């Protein structure tokens, strides 16, 4: 394994999701791995309509090419491992993050046997439900789930506030060490 793609599923480019993923990326780099943090941005991401055109064409891409889904599929396919981080909105990850995950996996992103970790960031509550929601699709496609010393969760509302969550940042570092192993 040499490259880990970290997807920032927050509409805030350098908010607390970025903070947590950056902590993991620094540890992965200390372990000798290359990292890339990809931000999904603030533009709309279509939901999957289960049309099956991606399966009929067999090219591993979604028929809709007007958002970042196919570009992200290419990045996922080029990586050896994947971490997806997202904030918690009303107890779940943002809709655009879930839409991206569902379309990527339905279209055939190459994730089988590729180590995967989910990261949830929240102000107070909903973190365990959001964490589980992020993990579940990858459990269904044979992506080995990378664990840590606790669930991969950190707390913070204002940008940078997650750095004050010492246990959350330690959890990110341990998750990264486990992934590198």
pLDDT for 64-120, tens place per residue?
999 999 999 999 999 999 999 999 999 999 999 999 999 999 999 999 999 999 999
pLDDT digits (tens, 9 = 90+) for 43-62: 999 999 999 999 999 899 99
Mean pLDDT of 153-159: 94
pLDDT digits (tens, 9 = 90+) for 100-116: 999 999 999 999 999 99
Q: How confident is the model at residue 161 (pLDDT cuts 50, 70, 90)?
A: very high
Task: Say if CB 162 and CB 20 are below 8 A apart.
Answer: yes
pLDDT digits (tens, 9 = 90+) for 3-39: 999 999 999 999 999 999 999 999 999 999 999 999 9
Per cent of the chain over pLDDT 70 is: 100
Helix then strand then coil, % of the chain, to nearest 5: 40, 20, 40
This prediction has a pTM of 0.96
pLDDT for 124: 87
Element (H, E) at 153: strand 153-155
Question: d(Cα 21, Cα 85) in Å, to the nearest integer?
Answer: 7
């Amino acid at each position: 394994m040499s490259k880990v793609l970290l997807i920032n599923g927050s509409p805030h480019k350098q908010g607390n999701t970025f903070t947590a993923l950056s902590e993991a990326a620094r540890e992965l780099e200390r372990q000798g791995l290359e990292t890339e943090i990809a931000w999904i941005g603030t533009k709309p991401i279509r939901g999957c309509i289960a049309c099956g055109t991606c399966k009929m064409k067999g090219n591993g891409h979604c028929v809709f090419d007007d958002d970042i889904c196919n570009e992200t599929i290419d990045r996922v396919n080029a990586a050896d491992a994947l971490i997806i981080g997202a904030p918690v909105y009303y107890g779940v990850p943002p809709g655009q993050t879930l839409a991206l995950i569902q379309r990527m996996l339905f279209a055939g992103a190459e994730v089988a046997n590729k180590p995967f970790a989910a990261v949830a960031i929240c102000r107070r509550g909903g973190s365990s439900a959001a964490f589980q929601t992020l993990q579940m699709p990858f459990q269904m496609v044979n992506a080995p789930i990378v664990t840590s010393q606790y669930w991969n969760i950190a707390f913070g509302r204002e940008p940078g506030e997650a750095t004050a969550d010492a246990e959350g940042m330690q959890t990110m570092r341990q998750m990264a060490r486990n992934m590198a192993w």
